């Protein structure tokens, strides 16, 4: 028997264009797609502020997790992609991550990349969770 899949949408127009969803739950596993910092209207949030962008990415991720029946403490893995690996950027992104996961730290990776979906985006974060 194949487990049922729950697909969580953000409502962003690019989900249908590209063919993905914000998150997918299968059984007790939840995968949250790479998430950039957008405001309620889909516009880039806090251009130039990596820490604020990371915090916004994580807000969106926590919301998707909740819709899938998960909480931050269920997260077992995060990946953070940043366009600037300067120590200040790493510290700001790391502080936003710690604000959510300090009491339940997942395995995590921060990777420097040359670009994200738009030049205003400095940070993209994805997460994996196991409920239970």
pLDDT at residue 1 above 90? no
What confidence tier does 13 reach under pLDDT thresholds 50, 70, 90? confident
Query: What is the fold of 5-130?
Result: 60s Ribosomal Protein L30; Chain: A; (3.30.1330)
pLDDT at residue 2 above 80? no
pLDDT at position 5: 94
- Percent pLDDT > 90 in the chain is 89
Q: What angle do CA 9, 12, 18 make, to 5 degrees?
A: 85
User: Once rounded to an integer, what is the mean pLDDT over residues 79-88?
Assistant: 98
C-alpha span between 70 and 131 (Å, rounded): 6
pLDDT at position 14: 81
Tens digit of pLDDT for each residue in 46-73? 999 999 999 999 999 999 999 999 999 9
C-alpha span between 110 and 112 (Å, rounded): 7
Contact 53, 46 (CB under 8 A): yes
Q: What is the residue-averaged pLDDT of the chain?
A: 96
Q: What angle do CA 23, 34, 1 make, to 5 degrees?
A: 35
Domain chopping of the chain, boundaries: 5-130
């Amino acid at each position: 028997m194949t487990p049922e899949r729950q697909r969580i949408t953000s409502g962003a127009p690019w989900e249908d264009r590209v063919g993905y969803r914000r998150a997918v739950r299968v059984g007790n596993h939840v995968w949250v797609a790479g998430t950039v910092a957008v405001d309620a209207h889909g516009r880039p949030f806090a251009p130039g502020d990596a820490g604020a962008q990371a915090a916004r990415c994580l807000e969106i991720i926590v919301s998707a997790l909740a819709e899938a029946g998960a909480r931050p403490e269920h997260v077992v893995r995060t990946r953070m992609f940043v366009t600037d690996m300067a120590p200040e950027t790493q510290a700001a992104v790391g502080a936003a991550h710690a604000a959510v996961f300090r009491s339940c730290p997942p395995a995590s990776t921060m990777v420097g990349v040359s670009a994200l979906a738009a030049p205003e985006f400095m940070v993209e974060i994805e997460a994996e969770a196991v409920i239970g």
